[in-house]
Chains A and B, each alone.
Chain A
Amino acid sequence: MKKILLLVLFFSTTELFAQRPDTSIRLTLERTPTGQEPFAIAIEDFKAEDNLIPAGDWHWLSSVPNVIENDLEFSLFFNVVDFDSTYRRIFAVTDPIFDDWFRLGARFILRGALSFKPHEVFAQVKLIDVNARRDVMSKKFKTERGFERRLAHTIADAVIEQLTGQKGVSSTQMAFASKRNQTKELFACDYDGENLYQLTFDKSINLSPAFSPDASQIVYTSYKSGTPDLWIFDLSSGKAKPISTKKGLNASAVWSPDGKRIALTLTIDGNPELYLIEPSGRVISRLTYNDGIDTSPTFSPDGKYIAFTSDRSGSPQIYVADGDGLNVTRLTYEGNYNASPDWSPNPANPLITYVGRTTGDEQGDFNICAISSTGGLRQVLTNTGFNENPHWSPDGFHVVFSRKVGDQSDIFTIGYDGTGLRQVTNTGAASNPVWSPRPIQ
């Protein structure tokens, strides 16, 4: 009885403390994007197809399944079944077989075999339905030597697509700016933070990267030539060139979904306004006309609408307009600071994520929020700290953002329902993250 009383007390006090001074409501969303139970899957260590594996490569037999496990858990669609230590002791099993996984509650088993050739690695992978005792997927994958992690990501995406019909994000990357001494250079890494590599070596300040829809190019603002110009970086050649060097600011650029236009902020007329330009740099049209600051444009997935930040009402708020800048409507009304919107690329879940000051006063936290593209109540995804620059994953189920603690800034991801916070970088110097689209096959 005492225990129950204590529990009641605990919940009522947490409820009291959970009351925030603002009126935002944290909506409870379904855990998995389709609203169903996650698939319980067992992932076995891979076998060696032959014994010709070089000594330094044996670890891939367990590393590749580990990467796949990480990808599947991240996707929100899967629950990876552990080979439980108690079970192992009771049944004296060292190598689990079909029956063991069945008893442990796995609904699917992923089995694979690797074979290493001088320049290539092959993986033969089977996904087995435990109830039906039949294969759901049987596929062969290959990659060049040295790209074993990428192979694992490809396998994970194939499993996700086979079982859910949706494309995964395991093979995507992130780009971000990272502080080195007094400069900021662009870096890229896999979505899980691995495979970090430096893109620019300008010894200058580079900001706001944005991927082209085919993930082959990045536009960004660079002070390389002294003024904030818009540059384009080609990922295959590693070369960069300026595309918009108008007088004043050329900043916060973003590609349209068809890749034919870039929306950005220019100050050629004195005041920061939104413009549309071609990737060659030619101005197509001016989108906004007012005395306030208009910045941070983002396109709807069909390219017909634009959301952006404007302080025309006195404080920064999110607005939505037609693709030509007409029919502007205000989207956010909660809080006195709402900025840097990003429109979800998933048309089935039309949300816009942004940074909002959630506690009303001047010292309030800056949290990552999400709101329906037609307005309504906001959902607050994060609950602490100084969070900036949210960007959606290509499936619209995750958001990447940077979080500042003191003078340290790192990249994090969070699920669209506010669960599954993960730290991507730990250098304390990363900001301005952006999630790449899926590479075109």
Chain B
Amino acid sequence: MKSPYFISFIVHFFLILVLAFWPATKKLVLPPSQTIQVRFRAAAQAALPEAKAESVIPKPKKIEKPVPPGPKLVDKIQKLKKNPPKQEPPKTEPKAEPKTTTSSAPANTPFGETVLENPNFPYTYYLEQMLNRIDQAWENPVRSDLPLSTVIYFRVQKEGRVTDLQIEAPSGFSSFDNACRRAILSSDPFAPLPSDFVDLYLGIHLEFKQ
């Protein structure tokens, strides 16, 4: 009659021993932290509460590894536009656009549609000033009625420096492409990015038109 108790005692004793001396090599594995990106609409016409909007800065922010520039990047962005990745559920404003575009460029500027890589960039003043400076530095060497268009991708870093500049969609006229590139490079550096903008850089696809 004693044996079941004895066996139970022995089994429990060994279980406790095993648990006590279990090698602690395996670290505790937590479920992967979810990155939530909150999107803001460009708030030009929005109604105005006394804004303490600073308190709703999206945090934590996913810090992306810089993608090596190349045509792959464009493909990736195209895909991103079609299928927003899972870890970015639009939480607050589900209908927000995944990109910001400033399509209505004034007629006397060389710019076509400007696409921002970062959807959460509501600072229109920054883009206006940037385009203004590029416009000032822009000198079109091509004298013809031929419609030309070049898309240039570049990044503006936190302190305003231009990096990763590349011609994304060449016009076919290298002098036109190079003049577009020069206009951006001679405006470098731009003003520092706003302090509330938490991304590491601002990616811009800028179209020059003639």
Contact = CB atoms under 8 A, between A and B. Distances in A.
A51 interface: no
A161 B124 contact: no
Contacts of A164: 129, 191
A258 B91 CA distance: 55
B122 A39 contact: no
B195 A102 contact: no
Nearest to A348: B186
Contacts of B49: 98
Given A99-B48, A134-B54, A165 B192 contact: yes
B50 interface: yes
Interface residues of A, number: 27
A133 B124 contact: no
Interface in A164-204: 164-165
A311 interface: no
B38 to A, nearest CB: 12
B187 to A, nearest CB: 9
A131 B129 contact: no
A132 B50 contact: no
A284 interface: no
A164 B190 CA distance: 8
A132 B192 contact: no
Contacts of A128: 51, 54
B44 interface: yes
A98 B49 CA distance: 8
A129 B194 contact: yes
B53 interface: yes
Nearest to B135: A35
Interface string B177-200: 000000000000111101111000
Given A133-B43, A165-B192, A34 B48 contact: no
B122 A132 contact: yes
Nearest to B45: A131
Nearest to A139: B195
B123 interface: yes
Contacts of B43: 131-133
Contacts of B54: 126, 128, 134-135, 138
A85 to B, nearest CB: 22
Chain B interface mostly: loop
Residue with the highest number of chain B CB atoms closer than 10 Å, among A99, A133, A135: A133
A240 interface: no
A98 B133 contact: no
Given A34-B136, A35-B136, A97-B50, A135 B128 contact: no
Contacts of B124: 131-132
Contacts of B160: 165
Nearest to A109: B51
Contacts of B44: 131
A134 B53 contact: yes
A39 to B, nearest CB: 7
Nearest to B133: A34
Chain A interface mostly: mixed
Contact of A99 (B50, B132, B189, B195): B50
Contacts of A162: 191-192, 194-195
B125 interface: yes
B132 A102 contact: no
Nearest to B136: A35
Interface string B78-102: 0000000000000000000000000
Contacts of A98: 48-51
A129 B189 CA distance: 21
Interface string B153-173: 000000010000000000000
Interface in A129-159: 129, 131-139
Contacts of A138: 54, 195-196
Contact of A137 (B57, B125, B194): B194
Interface in B109-130: 122-125, 128-129
Interface in B9-51: 40, 42-44, 46, 48-51
Interface of A: 34-36, 39, 97-99, 102, 107-108, 126, 128-129, 131-139, 161-165
20 contacts: A34-B129, A36-B128, A39-B125, A98-B51, A126-B54, A128-B51, A129-B125, A131-B44, A131-B124, A131-B125, A132-B122, A133-B43, A133-B51, A133-B53, A134-B53, A134-B54, A136-B196, A138-B195, A165-B191, A165-B192
Q: Which 9 A-B pairs have the closest CB atoms?
A: A165-B191, A132-B122, A133-B51, A136-B194, A133-B53, A36-B132, A134-B196, A135-B196, A99-B48
Interface of B: 40, 42-44, 46, 48-51, 53-54, 57, 122-125, 128-129, 132-133, 136, 160, 189-192, 194-197
